[in-house]
A and B are shown apart, each in its own frame.
Chain A
């Protein structure tokens, strides 16, 4: 089946640090990648949708200057949380979708900002 690799799996860093999360589709071309955030005991909330080679589309309430998304190729998308603060601590999950492929999720990144 389709595999999406997400790295790193866990980040602990100080407030003010910028954190970069990578999401790779390993065995299919992900024309669209999605970034989600999940707080404890809540469902996944879509943050943004990115298509290869174009600017990401952000959901309402998500700051595009804080959450920088790059989707430079059909197999790689990155999310950079700039100047992270404790309220940004969450579980960040990416997913990739290709032609005739439902969304497959990466393993997630647990971000803890001290």
Chain B
């Protein structure tokens, strides 16, 4: 079983719709969770971090975390064509002095104008 799983997509939504991206993780001691956006040929860009159960909102983005279900999601409201990218879910597991990120394989999102 992969440590961090995402639906690879592609996920297509019309402009203005809500895009919902999901991620599950296997290690219960995971403490920190991140969503990165990666445009083709570019490096990942941090868009959301979440550390406790519940919702966290930042502009058009909402991250949701449910540690009991080992599930984290990202909602993008009022999706724009510029949101078209691959979204990477990352989980951080504290291990000694290193706090490594484990990435999912990413979900490719296309927002259709």
- The yes or no verdict on A and B being binding partners is yes
Residues of A within 8 A of B (CB): 6, 32, 34, 42-44, 46, 49, 51, 57, 93, 95, 97, 102-108, 110
- Whether the Cβ atoms of B97 and A51 lie closer than 8 Å is yes
A102 to B33 CA separation, bound complex (whole angstroms): 10
Distance between B4 CB and nearest chain A CB, rounded to angstroms: 9
> A94's closest neighbor in chain B, by CB?
B43
- Whether the Cβ atoms of A43 and B103 lie closer than 8 Å is yes
Residues 10-43 of B, flagged 1 when their CB comes within 8 A of A and 0 if not, give 0000000000000000000000101010000111
* Category for how many chain B residues contact A: 20 to 34
Residues 88-113 of B, flagged 1 when their CB comes within 8 A of A and 0 if not, give 10000000011111111110000000
Provide the residues of chain A in CB contact with B98, threshold 8 Å. 32, 49, 51, 57
A108 to B41 CA separation, bound complex (whole angstroms): 9
Provide the residues of chain B in CB contact with A106, threshold 8 Å. 43
- Whether the Cβ atoms of A46 and B101 lie closer than 8 Å is yes
- Whether the Cβ atoms of A105 and B99 lie closer than 8 Å is no
